[in-house]
C-alpha cells in the first residue's frame, strides 16, 4: 500500500485512526505541532485502488492531551467507484479522539448527499469512524428534494 | 436630410426584422401543429421539498439509513406526519425514499391529487414504495389501534393498509362509521361494502 506524503506528520496518526490508509497531504506544520490547510485521501481497495474513496480536509488541526485533535473547518467527502460524490460533511469545528476514532462537537454540522437532494443540519454531533455512524443530537432539520417526476 | 433618411431606414429595417421574426415563429407554430397532434406537455412545477425535523437523528451510513428520534415532524406536499421515532432508508442519488417506518403516537394527514384529505393515527405506520416489472406499489400500513378518517367516515381495524397507488383501503376486522350529511343520509361511497372480517374498499 503506497503512501504519498508531504509534511503531515501530525495528521498521520489521526488519519490512521480515521482509516485513511493512503494519504495525500499538503499541510503546513509549525513547531507547536499545529497543522493547517491539510487534505488527506483514502483510496478504495484493489482492484479499484486508483479511485478515491474519501477525502478529509481541514483548515487547522491542533493536538491536545490524551490523543485529541481539535480540527477546524472540517470537511469529509465520500465518493463512489465512479468518482461521484456521495456524502459531504461540513463542521466548523470538532474534537477528534485519535484513540477511539470518534469525532465530537457541540457545534453545527451539515451533511448532504453529492447531488444535494438530501441535506441535514443540526447542532452537536458524534461521528464514529469504525462503523460510519453519525449522531446529530439537537435541532435536526432535513430537507429532501427530488425531481418533479420522482416524488417522495 | 441624409441623417433623417438613415434613421428612417434603420427604423424600417427594425420593423421588418421584427415582423420577419414573428412570421418565423408563427410558421414554426403552424408546422408544430401540422406535424403532431400531441399537445406540448406543460413543464411540471418543481415539487416542494420534504422537510423532517426532530430532536436528534442517527445515520447509519453503511446501511444508508436514518433514524430520527423525538418530536419527529414530516412536512411534505402530500403528507404531514408526527411521531416519536422515524426510520427512513436514504435515497440513492436522484431517487426517492422507498421505505419509512414511523413509530409511537403516529398522527398523519395525507392529501391526494384531488385535494382530499385523510387523517390517520396509530402506533405504527410503514410506508413502502417500490416498482416491480413496471408496476408501482405504494402502501401505508397502519397498526396499533389504527384509525383512518376522511370526509366519508372513520375506519378502524386491526390493520389498515392504504394502497396509495390504487387508492384502495384494505382493513382487517373493520369497523366503519359513516359521516351523515345534513339530510340524514349516509355519505356516498363508491365502495361496495362487504361485511367480512377483512374489508377491501376504495377510499
Tell which wins on pLDDT, B184 or B58: B58
Confidence of residue B197 (pLDDT cuts 50, 70, 90): low
Does a structural domain hold residue A1? no
Q: Decide if B78 and A87 are in contact by the 8 Å CB cutoff.
A: no
> Which grid coordinates are listed for A54?
474519501
Does a structural domain hold residue A3? no
Q: Measuring CA to CA, which residue among B6, B21, B17, B90 is closest to residue B52?
A: B90
B44 contacts on A by Cβ (under 8 Å)? 148-149
Residue A50's CATH number: 2.60.450.10
Question: How far is the alpha carbon of A124 from chain B, nearest alpha carbon, in Å?
Answer: 9
> Can you give the pLDDT at residue B41?
65
Strongest mean pLDDT among B39-43, B150-154, B194-198: B150-154
In the predicted model, is pLDDT for residue B73 greater than 90?
A: yes
Cis peptide before A47 (omega within 30 of 0): yes
d(Cα B49, Cα A139) in Å, to the nearest integer?
18
Q: Decide if A113 and B52 are in contact by the 8 Å CB cutoff.
A: no
Q: Which of A84, A132, A136 shows the shortest C-beta gap to B57?
A: A136
Question: How far is the alpha carbon of A31 from chain B, nearest alpha carbon, in Å?
Answer: 37
In the predicted model, is pLDDT for residue A110 greater than 70?
A: yes
In the predicted model, is pLDDT for residue B43 greater than 90?
A: no
Q: Locate cell 365502495: which residue? A: B191
Does a structural domain hold residue A46? yes
> Can you give the pLDDT at residue A23?
41
- HSE on the CB side for B109, CA within 13 Å? 8
Tell which wins on pLDDT, B96 or B198: B96
Q: Which of A87, A122, A132 shows the shortest C-beta gap to B57?
A: A122
Confidence of residue A17 (pLDDT cuts 50, 70, 90): very low
State what percent of residues in chain B have pLDDT above 70. Answer: 65
User: How large is the average pLDDT for residues B37-57?
Assistant: 80
Instruction: State the DSSP string of B136-167.
Output: EEEEEEEESS-EEE-SSEEEE-SEEEEETTTT
Tell which wins on pLDDT, B192 or B34: B34
CA distances from A104 to A95, A135, B145 (A): 5, 9, 40
Q: CB contacts < 8 Å between A and B, how many?
A: 96
Kindly report the pTM of this predicted structure: 0.71
> Can you give the pLDDT at residue B156?
94
> Can you give the pLDDT at residue B196?
40
Does a structural domain hold residue A81? yes
B85-105 per-position pLDDT tens digit: 999 988 766 667 889 999 999
Does a structural domain hold residue A128? yes
- Residue A115 forms contact with B (CB below 8 Å): yes
State what percent of residues in chain B have pLDDT above 90. Answer: 38
Q: Locate cell 449522531: which residue? A: A135
> Can you give the pLDDT at residue B28?
59
User: How large is the average pLDDT for residues B142-163?
Assistant: 92
Domain count, chain A: 1
Q: Decide if A144 and B57 are in contact by the 8 Å CB cutoff.
A: no
Q: Decide if A144 and B45 are in contact by the 8 Å CB cutoff.
A: no
Tell which wins on pLDDT, B96 or B129: B129
Confidence of residue A4 (pLDDT cuts 50, 70, 90): very low
**What is the residue range of A109's domain?**
11-144
Confidence of residue A13 (pLDDT cuts 50, 70, 90): very low
Does a structural domain hold residue A149? no
Amino acid at each position: 500500500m503506497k503512501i504519498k506524503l508531504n509534511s503531515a506528520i501530525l495528521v498521520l496518526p489521526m488519519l490512521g485512526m480515521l482509516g485513511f490508509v493512503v494519504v495525500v497531504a499538503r499541510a503546513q506544520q509549525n513547531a507547536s505541532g499545529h497543522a493547517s490547510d491539510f487534505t488527506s485521501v483514502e483510496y478504495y481497495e484493489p482492484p479499484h485502488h486508483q479511485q478515491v474513496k474519501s477525502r478529509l480536509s481541514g483548515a487547522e488541526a491542533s493536538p491536545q492531551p490524551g490523543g485529541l485533535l481539535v480540527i477546524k473547518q472540517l470537511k469529509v467527502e465520500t465518493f463512489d467507484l465512479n468518482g461521484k460524490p456521495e456524502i459531504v460533511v461540513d463542521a466548523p469545528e470538532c474534537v477528534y479522539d485519535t484513540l477511539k476514532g470518534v469525532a465530537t462537537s457541540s457545534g453545527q454540522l451539515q451533511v448532504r448527499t453529492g447531488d444535494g437532494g438530501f441535506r441535514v443540519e443540526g447542532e452537536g454531533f458524534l461521528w464514529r469512524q469504525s462503523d460510519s455512524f453519525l449522531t446529530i443530537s439537537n435541532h435536526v432539520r432535513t430537507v429532501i428534494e427530488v425531481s418533479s417526476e420522482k416524488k417522495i | 436630410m441624409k441623417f433623417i433618411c438613415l434613421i428612417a431606414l434603420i427604423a424600417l429595417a427594425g420593423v421588418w426584422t421584427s415582423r420577419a421574426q414573428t412570421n418565423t415563429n408563427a410558421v414554426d407554430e403552424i408546422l408544430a401543429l401540422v406535424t403532431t397532434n400531441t399537445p406540448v406537455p406543460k413543464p411540471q412545477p418543481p415539487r416542494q421539498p420534504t422537510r423532517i425535523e426532530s430532536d436528534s437523528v442517527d445515520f447509519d451510513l453503511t446501511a444508508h439509513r436514518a433514524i430520527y428520534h423525538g418530536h419527529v415532524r414530516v412536512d411534505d406536499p402530500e403528507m404531514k406526519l408526527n411521531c416519536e421515532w422515524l426510520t427512513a432508508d436514504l435515497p440513492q442519488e436522484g431517487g426517492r425514499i422507498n421505505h419509512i417506518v414511523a413509530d409511537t403516537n403516529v398522527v398523519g394527514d395525507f392529501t391526494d391529487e384531488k385535494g382530499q384529505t385523510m387523517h390517520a393515527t396509530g402506533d405504527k405506520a410503514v410506508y413502502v414504495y417500490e416498482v416491480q416489472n413496471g408496476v408501482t406499489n405504494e402502501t401505508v400500513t397502519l397498526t396499533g389501534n389504527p384509525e383512518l378518517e376522511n370526509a366519508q367516515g372513520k375506519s378502524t381495524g386491526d390493520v389498515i393498509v392504504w394502497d396509495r397507488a390504487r387508492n384502495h383501503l384494505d382493513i382487517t376486522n373493520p369497523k366503519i362509521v359513516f359521516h351523515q350529511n345534513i339530510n340524514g343520509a349516509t355519505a356516498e361511497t363508491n365502495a361496495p361494502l362487504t361485511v367480512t372480517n377483512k374489508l377491501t374498499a376504495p377510499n
